Chain A
Amino acid sequence: MAGAPDGGTVLSEKMLAARFAEVVLPHLGDALSLARWLTGNQADAEDVVQEACLKAHAGIAGFAGGNARAWLLTIVRNASYTWMARNRSRSVVAVGDLADLDDVSPPPDNDADSPEAALIAKANSAAVEAAIARLPQAFRETLVLRDINGLSYREIAAMLGVPQGTVMSRLARARGLLMTELGGRHEPA
Protein backbone atom coordinates (compact mmCIF):
# COMPACT_ATOMS: atom_id res chain seq x y z
CA MET A 1 0.00 0.00 0.00
CA ALA A 2 1.68 3.18 1.15
CA GLY A 3 4.79 1.15 1.83
CA ALA A 4 5.49 0.73 -1.88
CA PRO A 5 8.18 3.19 -2.99
CA ASP A 6 6.18 4.47 -5.97
CA GLY A 7 2.96 4.94 -4.05
CA GLY A 8 4.94 6.63 -1.31
CA THR A 9 6.45 9.36 -3.47
CA VAL A 10 3.20 10.16 -5.27
CA LEU A 11 1.43 10.36 -1.95
CA SER A 12 4.01 12.66 -0.46
CA GLU A 13 4.06 14.92 -3.52
CA LYS A 14 0.30 15.16 -3.37
CA MET A 15 0.57 15.91 0.31
CA LEU A 16 3.15 18.62 -0.25
CA ALA A 17 0.94 20.14 -2.94
CA ALA A 18 -1.98 20.23 -0.51
CA ARG A 19 0.21 21.83 2.11
CA PHE A 20 1.53 24.40 -0.35
CA ALA A 21 -2.00 25.35 -1.33
CA GLU A 22 -2.90 25.76 2.31
CA VAL A 23 0.19 27.55 3.58
CA VAL A 24 1.35 29.67 0.65
CA LEU A 25 -1.50 30.53 -1.71
CA PRO A 26 -3.71 32.43 0.77
CA HIS A 27 -0.89 34.87 1.51
CA LEU A 28 0.17 35.79 -2.01
CA GLY A 29 -1.36 39.27 -1.67
CA ASP A 30 0.73 40.00 1.39
CA ALA A 31 3.78 38.52 -0.27
CA LEU A 32 3.31 40.81 -3.26
CA SER A 33 2.82 43.84 -1.00
CA LEU A 34 6.02 43.22 0.89
CA ALA A 35 8.05 42.49 -2.23
CA ARG A 36 6.60 45.53 -3.92
CA TRP A 37 7.68 47.80 -1.06
CA LEU A 38 11.09 46.23 -0.72
CA THR A 39 11.95 46.18 -4.42
CA GLY A 40 10.04 49.33 -5.29
CA ASN A 41 7.85 48.11 -8.13
CA GLN A 42 5.11 45.68 -8.98
CA ALA A 43 6.69 43.81 -11.87
CA ASP A 44 9.81 43.00 -9.88
CA ALA A 45 7.61 42.01 -6.97
CA GLU A 46 5.98 39.23 -9.02
CA ASP A 47 9.38 37.85 -10.01
CA VAL A 48 10.58 37.96 -6.43
CA VAL A 49 7.43 36.32 -5.06
CA GLN A 50 7.59 33.60 -7.67
CA GLU A 51 11.18 32.90 -6.67
CA ALA A 52 10.19 32.94 -3.01
CA CYS A 53 7.34 30.51 -3.68
CA LEU A 54 9.73 28.10 -5.34
CA LYS A 55 11.84 28.23 -2.20
CA ALA A 56 8.75 27.91 -0.03
CA HIS A 57 7.69 24.85 -1.99
CA ALA A 58 11.12 23.28 -1.64
CA GLY A 59 11.12 24.00 2.06
CA ILE A 60 7.47 23.37 2.85
CA ALA A 61 8.43 20.31 4.88
CA GLY A 62 10.31 22.66 7.20
CA PHE A 63 7.21 24.70 8.02
CA ALA A 64 6.66 23.89 11.66
CA GLY A 65 3.13 25.22 11.98
CA GLY A 66 2.29 28.58 13.47
CA ASN A 67 1.75 31.73 11.44
CA ALA A 68 1.96 30.75 7.78
CA ARG A 69 1.94 34.38 6.66
CA ALA A 70 4.95 35.28 8.80
CA TRP A 71 6.73 32.18 7.54
CA LEU A 72 6.11 33.04 3.90
CA LEU A 73 6.97 36.71 4.36
CA THR A 74 10.31 35.77 5.89
CA ILE A 75 11.11 33.86 2.72
CA VAL A 76 9.85 36.73 0.56
CA ARG A 77 12.01 39.19 2.45
CA ASN A 78 15.12 37.07 1.96
CA ALA A 79 14.27 36.54 -1.69
CA SER A 80 13.81 40.30 -2.13
CA TYR A 81 17.28 41.07 -0.81
CA THR A 82 18.86 38.27 -2.79
CA TRP A 83 17.10 39.48 -5.89
CA MET A 84 18.13 43.10 -5.36
CA ALA A 85 21.72 42.14 -4.66
CA ARG A 86 21.74 40.34 -8.00
CA ASN A 87 19.80 42.84 -10.10
CA ARG A 88 20.41 46.25 -8.60
CA SER A 89 23.39 48.43 -8.02
CA ARG A 90 24.81 48.21 -4.53
CA SER A 91 23.80 51.72 -3.62
CA VAL A 92 20.13 50.84 -3.77
CA VAL A 93 20.53 47.67 -1.78
CA ALA A 94 22.87 49.04 0.85
CA VAL A 95 20.98 48.59 4.06
CA GLY A 96 23.83 50.27 5.87
CA ASP A 97 24.64 49.71 9.46
CA LEU A 98 21.26 49.36 11.06
CA ALA A 99 22.70 50.21 14.44
CA ASP A 100 23.34 53.72 13.12
CA LEU A 101 19.72 54.12 12.14
CA ASP A 102 18.48 52.84 15.45
CA ASP A 103 20.69 55.23 17.36
CA VAL A 104 19.39 58.30 15.60
CA SER A 105 17.36 60.11 18.18
CA PRO A 106 13.89 61.11 17.09
CA PRO A 107 13.33 64.75 16.18
CA PRO A 108 11.85 66.90 18.93
CA ASP A 109 8.12 66.92 18.72
CA ASN A 110 7.14 70.39 19.84
CA ASP A 111 3.87 71.47 18.31
CA ALA A 112 1.29 68.74 18.64
CA ASP A 113 -1.86 70.24 17.25
CA SER A 114 -4.82 68.20 16.20
CA PRO A 115 -5.25 69.87 12.77
CA GLU A 116 -2.23 67.83 11.82
CA ALA A 117 -4.18 64.64 12.32
CA ALA A 118 -6.81 65.97 9.93
CA LEU A 119 -4.16 66.74 7.33
CA ILE A 120 -2.69 63.26 7.65
CA ALA A 121 -6.09 61.65 7.33
CA LYS A 122 -6.79 63.66 4.18
CA ALA A 123 -3.48 62.81 2.51
CA ASN A 124 -4.13 61.04 -0.77
CA SER A 125 -2.85 57.56 -1.47
CA ALA A 126 -0.24 58.72 -3.93
CA ALA A 127 1.29 61.04 -1.35
CA VAL A 128 1.28 58.29 1.28
CA GLU A 129 2.89 55.87 -1.14
CA ALA A 130 5.56 58.38 -2.08
CA ALA A 131 6.26 59.10 1.57
CA ILE A 132 6.60 55.40 2.39
CA ALA A 133 8.87 54.91 -0.60
CA ARG A 134 11.16 57.68 0.67
CA LEU A 135 11.65 56.05 4.10
CA PRO A 136 15.04 54.53 4.83
CA GLN A 137 14.99 50.83 4.04
CA ALA A 138 15.01 49.54 7.62
CA PHE A 139 12.18 51.84 8.65
CA ARG A 140 10.14 51.13 5.54
CA GLU A 141 10.51 47.39 6.00
CA THR A 142 9.32 47.52 9.60
CA LEU A 143 6.42 49.82 8.76
CA VAL A 144 5.27 47.64 5.86
CA LEU A 145 5.48 44.44 7.91
CA ARG A 146 3.38 46.04 10.63
CA ASP A 147 0.94 48.39 8.91
CA ILE A 148 0.49 46.66 5.57
CA ASN A 149 1.20 42.99 6.28
CA GLY A 150 -0.26 43.16 9.79
CA LEU A 151 2.41 41.17 11.62
CA SER A 152 2.81 41.55 15.37
CA TYR A 153 5.86 43.13 17.00
CA ARG A 154 7.00 39.71 18.09
CA GLU A 155 6.73 38.24 14.60
CA ILE A 156 8.59 41.17 13.08
CA ALA A 157 11.32 40.95 15.71
CA ALA A 158 11.73 37.24 14.98
CA MET A 159 11.84 37.86 11.23
CA LEU A 160 14.37 40.68 11.37
CA GLY A 161 16.39 39.10 14.13
CA VAL A 162 16.25 42.21 16.31
CA PRO A 163 14.80 42.86 19.79
CA GLN A 164 11.17 43.95 20.03
CA GLY A 165 12.32 47.29 21.38
CA THR A 166 14.18 47.90 18.12
CA VAL A 167 11.06 47.04 16.15
CA MET A 168 9.11 49.52 18.26
CA SER A 169 11.63 52.32 17.86
CA ARG A 170 11.99 51.77 14.11
CA LEU A 171 8.24 51.78 13.77
CA ALA A 172 7.97 54.99 15.78
CA ARG A 173 10.69 56.59 13.68
CA ALA A 174 9.07 55.49 10.43
CA ARG A 175 5.69 56.81 11.47
CA GLY A 176 7.26 59.99 12.79
CA LEU A 177 8.80 60.65 9.38
CA LEU A 178 5.53 59.91 7.59
CA MET A 179 3.54 62.12 9.93
CA THR A 180 6.01 64.93 9.53
CA GLU A 181 5.77 64.73 5.78
CA LEU A 182 2.03 64.18 5.46
CA GLY A 183 1.16 66.55 8.29
CA GLY A 184 2.90 69.31 6.38
CA ARG A 185 5.19 70.34 9.17
CA HIS A 186 8.31 70.42 7.03
CA GLU A 187 7.12 70.46 3.45
CA PRO A 188 9.83 68.92 1.29
CA ALA A 189 11.03 71.10 -1.57
Chain B
Amino acid sequence: MSPHENRPREDGLPEDPQDMKLMIHALVDGELDAAAALAVERRMAADPELAAEHARLVALSGAVANVPRPTVSDDFLARIAAIATVKDPEEAEVAQAESVKAEASVQRQQQGKVIEMRPRASRWFNSFDWRQMAASIVLTAFLASGVTQWLTTADNGSDSFAVAVANGHRRSLLAATPVDIFSSDRHTVKPWLDGRIGVSPAAPDMAKDGYALLGGRVEVIGDRPMPALVYRHHEHLITLVAAPRQNEAKSVPVADDLSAGGFLLVHWTDDAFSYWAISDAERPALDDFVARFRAAIIANPAAGSPG
Protein backbone atom coordinates (compact mmCIF):
# COMPACT_ATOMS: atom_id res chain seq x y z
CA MET B 1 0.00 0.00 0.00
CA SER B 2 2.81 2.36 0.82
CA PRO B 3 5.20 2.45 -2.16
CA HIS B 4 4.47 5.25 -4.56
CA GLU B 5 5.07 3.23 -7.71
CA ASN B 6 1.94 1.24 -6.87
CA ARG B 7 -0.12 4.38 -6.59
CA PRO B 8 0.53 6.43 -9.68
CA ARG B 9 -2.26 8.90 -8.93
CA GLU B 10 -1.11 9.52 -5.37
CA ASP B 11 -4.56 10.49 -4.17
CA GLY B 12 -4.62 7.77 -1.52
CA LEU B 13 -7.47 5.91 -3.19
CA PRO B 14 -7.35 2.21 -4.07
CA GLU B 15 -6.43 1.21 -7.62
CA ASP B 16 -8.47 -1.98 -7.50
CA PRO B 17 -11.76 -1.23 -9.31
CA GLN B 18 -13.86 -3.16 -6.78
CA ASP B 19 -12.25 -1.33 -3.86
CA MET B 20 -12.70 1.94 -5.69
CA LYS B 21 -16.41 1.14 -5.97
CA LEU B 22 -16.56 0.74 -2.19
CA MET B 23 -15.21 4.26 -1.96
CA ILE B 24 -18.14 5.48 -4.06
CA HIS B 25 -20.52 3.75 -1.63
CA ALA B 26 -18.68 5.35 1.28
CA LEU B 27 -19.03 8.74 -0.40
CA VAL B 28 -22.79 8.30 -0.84
CA ASP B 29 -23.03 7.14 2.79
CA GLY B 30 -21.22 10.21 4.09
CA GLU B 31 -18.46 8.05 5.55
CA LEU B 32 -15.56 9.92 3.94
CA ASP B 33 -13.77 12.90 5.34
CA ALA B 34 -13.50 16.01 3.20
CA ALA B 35 -10.09 15.15 1.73
CA ALA B 36 -11.09 11.62 0.70
CA ALA B 37 -14.44 12.85 -0.63
CA LEU B 38 -12.65 15.39 -2.79
CA ALA B 39 -10.29 12.73 -4.14
CA VAL B 40 -13.20 10.41 -4.99
CA GLU B 41 -15.07 13.22 -6.72
CA ARG B 42 -11.99 13.95 -8.84
CA ARG B 43 -11.78 10.30 -9.83
CA MET B 44 -15.46 10.33 -10.76
CA ALA B 45 -14.98 13.40 -12.91
CA ALA B 46 -12.25 11.55 -14.83
CA ASP B 47 -14.02 8.20 -15.05
CA PRO B 48 -17.56 8.01 -16.52
CA GLU B 49 -18.05 4.49 -15.20
CA LEU B 50 -17.48 5.61 -11.64
CA ALA B 51 -19.77 8.58 -12.22
CA ALA B 52 -22.49 6.24 -13.51
CA GLU B 53 -22.09 4.01 -10.46
CA HIS B 54 -22.44 7.06 -8.26
CA ALA B 55 -25.60 8.13 -10.10
CA ARG B 56 -27.10 4.65 -9.68
CA LEU B 57 -26.29 4.61 -5.98
CA VAL B 58 -27.85 8.01 -5.43
CA ALA B 59 -30.93 6.86 -7.33
CA LEU B 60 -31.09 3.67 -5.29
CA SER B 61 -30.75 5.41 -1.95
CA GLY B 62 -33.59 7.70 -3.00
CA ALA B 63 -35.71 4.71 -3.98
CA VAL B 64 -34.99 2.91 -0.70
CA ALA B 65 -35.73 6.05 1.26
CA ASN B 66 -39.17 6.15 -0.37
CA VAL B 67 -40.11 2.73 0.93
CA PRO B 68 -42.82 3.38 3.50
CA ARG B 69 -41.72 2.94 7.11
CA PRO B 70 -43.81 1.08 9.62
CA THR B 71 -45.69 3.59 11.72
CA VAL B 72 -45.61 3.46 15.48
CA SER B 73 -49.28 3.31 16.39
CA ASP B 74 -50.44 5.08 19.53
CA ASP B 75 -51.60 1.74 20.80
CA PHE B 76 -48.19 0.17 20.33
CA LEU B 77 -46.37 3.15 21.82
CA ALA B 78 -48.63 2.97 24.86
CA ARG B 79 -47.94 -0.74 25.20
CA ILE B 80 -44.18 -0.19 25.15
CA ALA B 81 -44.31 2.84 27.43
CA ALA B 82 -46.28 0.72 29.89
CA ILE B 83 -43.28 -1.60 30.28
CA ALA B 84 -41.47 1.06 32.25
CA THR B 85 -44.46 2.43 34.13
CA VAL B 86 -43.99 1.30 37.69
CA LYS B 87 -46.56 3.40 39.42
CA ASP B 88 -49.44 5.56 38.41
CA PRO B 89 -48.05 9.09 38.78
CA GLU B 90 -51.46 10.35 39.96
CA GLU B 91 -51.37 7.75 42.71
CA ALA B 92 -47.88 8.80 43.70
CA GLU B 93 -48.88 12.43 43.95
CA VAL B 94 -51.86 11.55 46.07
CA ALA B 95 -49.58 9.58 48.38
CA GLN B 96 -47.35 12.61 48.61
CA ALA B 97 -50.29 14.83 49.41
CA GLU B 98 -51.32 12.36 52.13
CA SER B 99 -47.93 12.60 53.76
CA VAL B 100 -48.04 16.38 53.62
CA LYS B 101 -51.43 16.19 55.29
CA ALA B 102 -50.04 13.95 58.02
CA GLU B 103 -47.20 16.36 58.62
CA ALA B 104 -49.54 19.29 58.72
CA SER B 105 -51.83 17.66 61.24
CA VAL B 106 -49.14 17.63 63.89
CA GLN B 107 -48.64 21.35 63.72
CA ARG B 108 -50.18 22.36 67.00
CA GLN B 109 -51.05 25.99 66.28
CA GLN B 110 -52.97 25.44 63.09
CA GLN B 111 -54.48 22.14 64.09
CA GLY B 112 -58.01 23.48 64.27
CA LYS B 113 -57.90 24.82 60.77
CA VAL B 114 -56.58 21.60 59.29
CA ILE B 115 -59.23 19.46 60.90
CA GLU B 116 -61.85 21.90 59.74
CA MET B 117 -60.68 21.37 56.18
CA ARG B 118 -60.79 17.59 56.30
CA PRO B 119 -64.47 16.97 55.52
CA ARG B 120 -64.13 19.04 52.40
CA ALA B 121 -60.87 17.39 51.50
CA SER B 122 -62.32 14.07 50.35
CA ARG B 123 -64.88 15.80 48.16
CA TRP B 124 -62.14 17.89 46.59
CA PHE B 125 -60.10 14.81 45.87
CA ASN B 126 -63.00 13.28 44.01
CA SER B 127 -64.07 16.38 42.19
CA PHE B 128 -61.29 18.47 40.79
CA ASP B 129 -58.77 20.55 42.58
CA TRP B 130 -57.07 18.53 45.28
CA ARG B 131 -53.80 20.18 44.30
CA GLN B 132 -55.07 23.47 45.55
CA MET B 133 -55.93 21.86 48.84
CA ALA B 134 -52.51 20.26 49.09
CA ALA B 135 -50.97 23.62 48.39
CA SER B 136 -52.94 25.29 51.15
CA ILE B 137 -51.87 22.59 53.58
CA VAL B 138 -48.26 23.07 52.57
CA LEU B 139 -48.71 26.76 53.23
CA THR B 140 -50.14 25.97 56.65
CA ALA B 141 -47.19 23.75 57.43
CA PHE B 142 -44.85 26.45 56.27
CA LEU B 143 -46.39 29.05 58.54
CA ALA B 144 -46.33 26.70 61.47
CA SER B 145 -42.80 25.48 61.11
CA GLY B 146 -39.92 27.48 59.75
CA VAL B 147 -37.50 24.66 60.49
CA THR B 148 -39.18 22.36 57.96
CA GLN B 149 -38.83 25.10 55.40
CA TRP B 150 -35.09 25.40 55.94
CA LEU B 151 -34.62 21.70 55.45
CA THR B 152 -36.65 21.76 52.27
CA THR B 153 -34.58 24.58 50.88
CA ALA B 154 -31.36 22.77 51.67
CA ASP B 155 -32.62 19.63 49.93
CA ASN B 156 -33.71 21.52 46.85
CA GLY B 157 -30.25 23.01 46.68
CA SER B 158 -28.53 19.65 46.65
CA ASP B 159 -31.13 18.25 44.23
CA SER B 160 -30.40 20.89 41.65
CA PHE B 161 -26.69 20.35 42.17
CA ALA B 162 -27.19 16.65 41.56
CA VAL B 163 -29.12 17.42 38.38
CA ALA B 164 -26.33 19.70 37.22
CA VAL B 165 -23.79 16.94 37.89
CA ALA B 166 -25.99 14.51 35.96
CA ASN B 167 -26.26 16.89 33.02
CA GLY B 168 -22.51 17.36 32.95
CA HIS B 169 -22.02 13.61 32.95
CA ARG B 170 -24.56 13.12 30.19
CA ARG B 171 -22.91 15.80 28.06
CA SER B 172 -19.51 14.16 28.56
CA LEU B 173 -20.88 10.83 27.29
CA LEU B 174 -22.10 12.49 24.12
CA ALA B 175 -18.97 14.55 23.54
CA ALA B 176 -16.07 13.43 21.36
CA THR B 177 -14.10 12.83 24.52
CA PRO B 178 -15.30 12.78 28.13
CA VAL B 179 -12.14 14.44 29.42
CA ASP B 180 -10.23 17.65 28.79
CA ILE B 181 -6.94 16.19 29.97
CA PHE B 182 -6.28 12.60 29.03
CA SER B 183 -3.99 10.92 31.52
CA SER B 184 -3.94 8.14 34.08
CA ASP B 185 -1.18 9.92 35.97
CA ARG B 186 -2.29 12.11 38.86
CA HIS B 187 0.94 14.05 38.47
CA THR B 188 -0.44 15.18 35.13
CA VAL B 189 -4.10 15.55 35.99
CA LYS B 190 -3.70 17.48 39.26
CA PRO B 191 -1.36 20.18 37.89
CA TRP B 192 -3.60 20.58 34.86
CA LEU B 193 -6.65 21.19 37.05
CA ASP B 194 -4.61 23.45 39.37
CA GLY B 195 -3.43 25.44 36.39
CA ARG B 196 -6.94 25.89 35.01
CA ILE B 197 -9.03 26.55 38.10
CA GLY B 198 -6.60 26.59 41.00
CA VAL B 199 -8.06 23.61 42.77
CA SER B 200 -7.70 19.86 42.39
CA PRO B 201 -8.72 16.83 44.37
CA ALA B 202 -6.60 13.75 44.92
CA ALA B 203 -6.64 11.75 41.70
CA PRO B 204 -5.53 8.23 42.50
CA ASP B 205 -5.36 5.81 39.60
CA MET B 206 -7.18 2.73 40.78
CA ALA B 207 -6.65 0.61 37.69
CA LYS B 208 -5.63 -2.37 39.80
CA ASP B 209 -9.05 -2.19 41.49
CA GLY B 210 -10.80 -2.02 38.12
CA TYR B 211 -11.25 1.76 38.08
CA ALA B 212 -8.77 3.27 35.70
CA LEU B 213 -8.22 7.02 35.83
CA LEU B 214 -9.06 8.29 32.38
CA GLY B 215 -8.35 11.96 33.01
CA GLY B 216 -10.03 15.12 34.19
CA ARG B 217 -12.19 17.96 33.03
CA VAL B 218 -13.69 21.17 34.34
CA GLU B 219 -17.39 21.31 35.17
CA VAL B 220 -19.16 24.59 35.71
CA ILE B 221 -21.96 24.23 38.22
CA GLY B 222 -23.86 27.17 39.67
CA ASP B 223 -21.40 29.77 38.34
CA ARG B 224 -18.43 27.97 39.81
CA PRO B 225 -15.85 25.95 37.88
CA MET B 226 -14.98 22.74 39.66
CA PRO B 227 -12.68 19.83 39.01
CA ALA B 228 -14.08 16.55 37.75
CA LEU B 229 -12.19 13.29 37.46
CA VAL B 230 -13.25 10.58 35.04
CA TYR B 231 -12.74 6.90 35.75
CA ARG B 232 -13.46 3.92 33.54
CA HIS B 233 -14.98 0.78 34.99
CA HIS B 234 -15.43 -1.88 32.28
CA GLU B 235 -17.56 -0.11 29.69
CA HIS B 236 -18.91 2.46 32.14
CA LEU B 237 -17.59 5.89 32.88
CA ILE B 238 -17.68 7.38 36.35
CA THR B 239 -17.49 11.14 36.75
CA LEU B 240 -16.35 12.38 40.13
CA VAL B 241 -17.06 16.06 40.72
CA ALA B 242 -15.15 17.51 43.66
CA ALA B 243 -16.71 20.78 44.81
CA PRO B 244 -14.50 22.68 47.26
CA ARG B 245 -16.27 22.76 50.64
CA GLN B 246 -17.82 26.00 51.71
CA ASN B 247 -18.55 26.86 55.30
CA GLU B 248 -22.30 26.69 55.06
CA ALA B 249 -22.38 23.36 53.21
CA LYS B 250 -23.68 20.57 55.37
CA SER B 251 -21.34 17.73 56.16
CA VAL B 252 -22.13 14.33 54.70
CA PRO B 253 -19.49 12.05 56.20
CA VAL B 254 -21.40 8.89 55.27
CA ALA B 255 -21.88 8.35 51.55
CA ASP B 256 -25.43 9.14 50.50
CA ASP B 257 -26.99 7.27 47.57
CA LEU B 258 -28.94 9.52 45.22
CA SER B 259 -30.06 9.61 41.63
CA ALA B 260 -30.69 12.32 39.08
CA GLY B 261 -31.49 12.52 35.41
CA GLY B 262 -31.46 8.76 35.01
CA PHE B 263 -28.07 8.28 36.61
CA LEU B 264 -26.99 6.99 39.98
CA LEU B 265 -25.08 9.31 42.29
CA VAL B 266 -23.17 8.99 45.50
CA HIS B 267 -22.54 12.12 47.54
CA TRP B 268 -20.19 12.55 50.46
CA THR B 269 -17.86 15.13 51.94
CA ASP B 270 -14.45 15.24 53.55
CA ASP B 271 -12.60 18.19 55.06
CA ALA B 272 -11.70 19.75 51.75
CA PHE B 273 -14.28 18.68 49.20
CA SER B 274 -17.88 17.82 48.64
CA TYR B 275 -17.80 14.82 46.30
CA TRP B 276 -20.37 13.74 43.76
CA ALA B 277 -19.76 10.45 42.00
CA ILE B 278 -22.07 9.71 39.08
CA SER B 279 -22.26 6.85 36.64
CA ASP B 280 -24.45 4.62 34.57
CA ALA B 281 -22.77 1.64 36.22
CA GLU B 282 -24.78 -0.52 38.62
CA ARG B 283 -25.22 0.71 42.19
CA PRO B 284 -22.88 -1.92 43.74
CA ALA B 285 -20.09 -0.95 41.32
CA LEU B 286 -20.53 2.74 42.07
CA ASP B 287 -20.59 2.12 45.82
CA ASP B 288 -17.49 -0.02 45.50
CA PHE B 289 -15.77 2.75 43.54
CA VAL B 290 -16.61 5.30 46.22
CA ALA B 291 -15.35 3.04 49.00
CA ARG B 292 -12.07 2.43 47.19
CA PHE B 293 -11.62 6.08 46.28
CA ARG B 294 -12.14 7.17 49.87
CA ALA B 295 -9.72 4.51 51.10
CA ALA B 296 -7.15 5.65 48.53
CA ILE B 297 -7.43 9.27 49.67
CA ILE B 298 -7.07 8.34 53.31
CA ALA B 299 -4.00 6.28 52.43
CA ASN B 300 -2.44 9.30 50.76
CA PRO B 301 -3.99 12.44 52.24
CA ALA B 302 -1.21 14.76 51.02
CA ALA B 303 -2.45 14.35 47.48
CA GLY B 304 -5.91 15.61 48.41
CA SER B 305 -5.38 19.17 49.60
CA PRO B 306 -7.02 21.85 47.54
CA GLY B 307 -4.69 23.99 45.52
Contacts and interface: CB of A to CB of B under 8 A. Distances in A.
A147 B18 CA distance: 21
Given A12-B259, A25-B81, A168-B22, A112 B52 contact: yes
A89 to B, nearest CB: 24
A138 B77 CA distance: 29
Interface string A98-113: 0000000010010011
A172 B21 contact: yes
B64 A132 contact: yes
Contacts of A106: 18
Interface of B: 18, 21-22, 25-26, 29, 31, 48-49, 52-53, 55-72, 76-77, 79-81, 83-87, 155, 170, 173-174, 235-237, 256-259, 261-264, 280, 282-283
Given A106-B18, A109-B53, 7 more contacts: A13-B87, A21-B81, A25-B80, A61-B280, A116-B56, A132-B64, A172-B25
26 contacts: A2-B258, A2-B259, A16-B262, A17-B85, A17-B86, A19-B262, A20-B84, A24-B84, A25-B81, A32-B69, A32-B76, A46-B76, A50-B80, A53-B83, A109-B49, A112-B48, A114-B52, A117-B55, A117-B59, A121-B62, A125-B63, A125-B67, A125-B68, A153-B31, A171-B29, A179-B56
Contacts of B58: 117
Max chain B C-beta neighbours (<10 A), residue from A46, A65, A118, A182? A65
Interface residues of A, number: 67
Interface string A152-183: 11000000000000001101100100110011
Max chain B C-beta neighbours (<10 A), residue from A13, A33, A147, A182? A147
Given A2-B256, A49-B80, A172-B22, A65 B280 contact: yes
A20 B49 CA distance: 48
B89 to A, nearest CB: 9
B25 A171 contact: yes
A63 B280 contact: yes
B153 to A, nearest CB: 14
